[in-house]
Amino acid sequence: MHEYSLVQALLDRVESEARSRHASAVHRVTVRIGPLAGVERELFSKAFEIVRPGTLCDRAELVVTGDDLRWTCEVCGAAIPTGRVLVCPDCGWPARLASGDALVLERIELEVPDHV
Amino acid sequence: MCEDCGCGDTRLVSVDVHERLLAGNDRTAAHNRGHFFSRGVTALNLMGSPGAGKTAILEATARHLGGSRRLAAVAGDLETERDAERLRKAGIPAVAITTGSACHLDAEMVHRAVHDGASLEADYLFIENVGNLVCPAIYDLGQQANVVALSVTEGEDKPLKYPVMFRNADLVLLTKVDLLPALDGYDVAAVQDALARVMPRPRVIAVSARSGEGVAEWVAWLEGLRVPGELRPAPLAIGVREVSHG
């Protein structure tokens, strides 16, 4: 259950951004979590619900987007289907993870007082 | 201005960040890596389930080397210093990191352990992670290589169930192979096949801390890490064949 420590890191990052921009609240936070990120999206969202009270994210919406799992050949770029042996059937070269391990804070939407 | 309370209206400001959630950990890991590199220390992150035989492998490594290489260790555990004590008895200077409830080591814990007296007067620093096949996989500690201990008693399909752990492994130590005669039907080829589906450059060494089988090969692999330009195992792509799961 490392999702709590990840959410804590997320809140620290978001709050420091919010403070530096004199935001009164955080409106929405968007993170991208791939299937090979090693993070359960549902647990992550639950951890966010539990950790956020009393923070600038108290009323913030958490949007978790996904990421495609794609392995490709390092040499010829051919797609290698997930679940198969991770070797290019044409070149015999090991596959490379093209996408699927993202664990990224994409965007923060802040409520900033008009006079700031 | 808000007409009810005079608090002032707000506007929405969107900030594109595009930063890894573990960026802070990554920075500390890079700092650790600098420490290790500048002292000529080869650091390894040793992971695996509780009871996979991580500590036993390190004890066997110390026995095999017999003092010809300087070893040091940092041992992570939820409670107790038992692993660190075992390692010290085996002649490996070891510092315990008691994580309490944390299921993994992070770069900051390792950084603190280094400043709390973990020996960097070493050729190899083994960072024995908390026994867990999930959480430790995503935290860079500043290591040069990831090693996963997988015991034969855990079954053949663990790589398929825990792909994140095995994808990031540079080497899998298949441990407790002295027990194979007692495990009727256990198929080493099936483990290798499972690894080849989650690990692009599957590298497996079968070892037994008890009988010493495979320990020389493991030590040779460790020596290879200290050869400049050979930090990564060479591709072993040719000849990997698919085995059907019946």
Contact between chains at A108 and B106 (C-beta distance less than 8 A): no
What is the tally of structural domains in chain B? Answer: 1
What is the distance, to the nearest Å, from the Cα of residue B3 to the centroid of all Cα atoms in its chain? Answer: 60
B183: which residues sit within 8 A by CB, 6+ positions away? Answer: B152, B153
Q: Is residue B104, in this structure, part of any structural domain at all?
A: yes
Q: Is residue B18, in this structure, part of any structural domain at all?
A: no
Q: Is residue B76, in this structure, part of any structural domain at all?
A: yes
Q: Give the pLDDT band of residue B4 (cuts 50, 70, 90).
A: low
Q: Is residue A87, in this structure, part of any structural domain at all?
A: yes
CA distance A55 to chain B (A): 18
Q: Which of A86, A97, A101 is best to mutate for the B interface (most B CBs within 10 A)? A: A86
Q: Is residue B113, in this structure, part of any structural domain at all?
A: yes
- pLDDT of B53 reads 97
Q: Which residue has the tokens 């085996």?
A: B90
Q: Is the pLDDT of residue B61 over 80?
A: yes
Q: Is residue A19, in this structure, part of any structural domain at all?
A: yes
Instruction: Count contacts between A and B (CB, < 8 Å).
Output: 126
Q: Is residue A116, in this structure, part of any structural domain at all?
A: no
CATH for B215: 3.40.50.300
Q: Is residue B140, in this structure, part of any structural domain at all?
A: yes
- pLDDT exceeding 90 applies to what percent of chain B? 80
- pLDDT exceeding 70 applies to what percent of chain B? 89
Residue A29's domain comprises 3-111
Q: Show residues of chain A in contact with B165, CB under 8 Å.
A: 38
Q: Which residue has the tokens 């968007």?
A: A30
CA distance A84 to chain B (A): 5
What is the tally of structural domains in chain A? Answer: 1
pLDDT per residue over B82-141, tens digit each?
999 999 999 999 999 988 878 899 999 999 999 888 788 999 999 999 999 999 999 999
Q: Which helix (H) or strand (E) holds B223?
A: helix B215-225
Q: Show residues of chain A in contact with B241, CB under 8 Å.
A: 85
| C-alpha distances out from residue A16 to A24, A84, A89, A109, B45, Å | 12, 43, 48, 13, 31
Q: Is the pLDDT of residue B239 over 50?
A: no
The first and second tokens of residue B24, run together, are 């802070």
Contact between chains at B19 and A13 (C-beta distance less than 8 A): yes
Residue B66's domain comprises 23-225
CATH for A31: 3.30.2320.80
pLDDT per residue over A65-91, tens digit each?
999 999 999 899 999 999 999 999 999
| Residue in B15, B18, B197 nearest the CB of A110 | B15
| C-alpha distances out from residue B237 to A109, B8, B145, B206, Å | 46, 64, 20, 19
| Amino acid (one-letter) located at A60 | A
Contact between chains at B164 and A37 (C-beta distance less than 8 A): yes
Mean local confidence (pLDDT), A11-33: 97
Q: Give the pLDDT band of residue B234 (cuts 50, 70, 90).
A: very low
Q: Is residue A24, in this structure, part of any structural domain at all?
A: yes
Give burial (CB, 10 Å; 0-12/13-18/19+) of B139.
buried
Mean local confidence (pLDDT), A2-6: 91
End-to-end CA distance of chain A: 39
- pLDDT of B116 reads 86
The first and second tokens of residue A4, run together, are 């709590």
